[in-house]
Structures are given as structure tokens and as C-alpha cells.
Amino acid sequence: MTKSILLWGLAIILAPFFSAVILKVKAFFGGRKGSPLLINYYTLIKLFKKGSVYSTSTTFLFKLGPMVSLCAAVTVLMFLPIAGQPPVLSFNGDIIFILYLLGLGRFFTIAAAMDTASPFEGMGAAREAYFPIICEATMFMILILFYILTGKLQLAAYFSGGHPLGLWQAAGSPLLFVVISFFIILLTENSRVPVDDPATHLELTMIHEVMVLDHSGPDLGFIEMGSFCKLFFYSTIVASLIFPFELGHPALNMGVFFVVLLLVYVAVGVMESVMARYRMDRVPKFVLTSFALAFFATLITLEFVK
């Protein structure tokens, strides 16, 4: 238990570092030296030191938004098994709770954006409300597959304990689809290229960045922290699927796990460097691909693997 809590704390502390890896990869592809790997910590400290300016249009919901989205992301990490270790919290159906908790965070992020009366933020909010609908359908499709494979509805049962899910298991081949499908969800839910572009602030093309235009100071810091944690959550699941942690020694497992996790972040960075953002009306098709992949994976599992 103490170990799980420590890992949870470690995850929160390391999340900003991993996100900076993406920036470094992008800088490498751009032929630049790039900002230091600790840049996100500097940014957070800078933001936490500042005060804030609030729009006269806003209400208490504007201040509640960053807190709830951070709270949801941090709570969700408690359910996450890291490197095959049991998580802090786990119960039957916890994954449904997790998905709906992330939904709660999204509700408040959107509410905070709509609070500003800004048309740009409204635009971002409408997109933020739209794309995750398809993601949720995919997530539940993947859950159905996981349920068929393990008979459990518990994140800890998938990625920790004696028989974790992974590409190298008997059911590994359909899981390859799931890895790709989950990677698409990761990109969509965390507003990365090709769905969204976290680097620019050109409002008309943005989803997440434009929704937080009016936030400043510690509030903005909370939002950033929340998105680091959320990205860490999704990346860990992808890493866990790729690598099943059966090396015999916990410390060895842990070390290799973090290397795999780093590779997932590097993959996101490479993706952002070599691809352009899709036009907004193409995004749903891209996200629907993930649903199709998850669906095929389920069919294949039913017919051949079982």
C-alpha cells in the first residue's frame, strides 16, 4: 500500500517531466536545441508565483474548472497500476468510474470556457464536447474486449498481478489493434497533433489551448498540471499494453517500464513532428478509426483467440 501511494506521488511528480520529452523530440526534428527537460517545472513554478486576472463575465465556475479538472486527473492516477504494481485504489468497475470522472473534469473545463462569453472559447468548448463522445464509445469497446479476455472490469486486473494483458500474450495479436486504437484516443483526449495543436495559440484551430485563454496564474498552472497527469494516465496504459512486466525483479520491471513509457512519449513527439493537424471536419473520421480497430479486435478475439 505504501509502495502504491509512493508510486502515485511519483507519477504526479514525473508527469511534467515526461511531457517535456515531447517538446525535446519536436525540437530535435525542427533542428533546434529545444528547451530544457525541466521546462514544465519552471513553467509551473512561474505560474504558481503569479496572481490572476479574471474576466468580468466570469462566475465561480471559472475558478472551479481548473480545480475540478486537476482533481479528476489526480484521482484517476490512484487507480492506475504502474509498472505492474497494484494501484492505490481498485474495485470492480473502477474503470467506468475513471472514465466518468474524466468526464466530470471535462464538464467543468467546458463550463469554465463558456463562462468567459468569448466566442473563441465557445468554439473550443463545442469541439471538446464533440470528439470525446467517439473516444468514449471506443473506450467502452476496448473494455468489452478486456472483459472478454480477463472477465474483470478493473484496471488493476488488466495491468497488474499474475496475468497482465500485453502484446506478448496469447491474445496479443488483436491487442495490437487496441494499442493503435488507444494511441488515437490518447492523441484526441490530450489534444495532441493531428487532432489539436498544443503549440500554437491560433484560436480558430484550437480545442484545448483556446479553452484556457482567459486563465492565468495558479489557475493556469492547475490546468497544465491536470493535463500532464491525464497524458501520463493514457501513456501508462499504452506502455502497459506494450510491455507486460515479467522480468523477475521489481526494480528491473520498474526501470524497463519507465523506458517503455518514455518511448510512448517519444512516439507522440515524433507524431507531432511528422504530421500536420487535420482539418476539423476530418477529425471525427480519424477518431472513428479507433472505434473500428477496437471493434475488429473484439471480433478477432471472439472468433480465433478464445
Residues 6+ apart with CB under 8 A from 256: 243, 245, 247
Cell readout for 150 is 480477463
Cell readout for 165 is 494483458
Nearer CB in complex with another protein: 118/253: 118
Report the nearest approach of another protein to the CB of residue 91 (Å). Answer: 4
Single out the residue of 191, 236, 298, 301 in contact with another protein (rule: CB under 8 A).
Answer: 298
What DSSP state is assigned to residue 203?
A: G
User: Applying CB under 8 A, does 86 fall inside the site for another protein?
Assistant: no
SS (H, E, C) 92-128: CCHHHHHHHHHHHHHHHHHHHHHCCCCHHHHHHHHHH
Stretch that binds another protein, among 35-43, 157-165, 215-223, 240-248 (CB under 8 A): 215-223
What φ, ψ does residue 229 adopt, rounded to 5°?
-65, -40
User: Applying CB under 8 A, does 147 fall inside the site for another protein?
Assistant: yes
Residue whose C-alpha cell reads 465557445 in the numeric block: 122
Cell readout for 50 is 503569479
Report the nearest approach of another protein to the CB of residue 105 (Å). Answer: 9
Nearer CB in complex with another protein: 155/264: 155
User: Applying CB under 8 A, does 155 fall inside the site for another protein?
Assistant: no
Nearer CB in complex with another protein: 75/253: 75
Subset of residues 162 to 201 that bind another protein, contact rule: CB under 8 A:
none
Q: How far apart are CA 174 and CA 4, in angstroms?
A: 30
User: Applying CB under 8 A, does 296 fall inside the site for another protein?
Assistant: no
Report the nearest approach of another protein to the CB of residue 266 (Å). Answer: 30
Report the nearest approach of another protein to the CB of residue 247 (Å). Answer: 31
Subset of residues 246 to 265 that bind another protein, contact rule: CB under 8 A:
none
Q: How far apart are CA 106 and CA 234, in angstroms?
A: 15
Q: What is the dihedral of CA 225, 227, 230, 231, to 10 degrees?
A: -110
What φ, ψ does residue 166 adopt, rounded to 5°?
-170, 165
User: Applying CB under 8 A, does 150 fall inside the site for another protein?
Assistant: no
Single out the residue of 213, 261, 271, 297 in contact with another protein (rule: CB under 8 A).
Answer: 213
Subset of residues 219 to 248 that bind another protein, contact rule: CB under 8 A:
221-222
Single out the residue of 15, 21, 81, 106 in contact with another protein (rule: CB under 8 A).
Answer: 106
Number of other CB atoms surrounding residue 168 within 10 Å: 10
Report the nearest approach of another protein to the CB of residue 182 (Å). Answer: 15
Beta strands in 70-208 (DSSP E): none
Subset of residues 40 to 79 that bind another protein, contact rule: CB under 8 A:
48, 50-59, 61, 67-68, 70-72, 74-75, 78
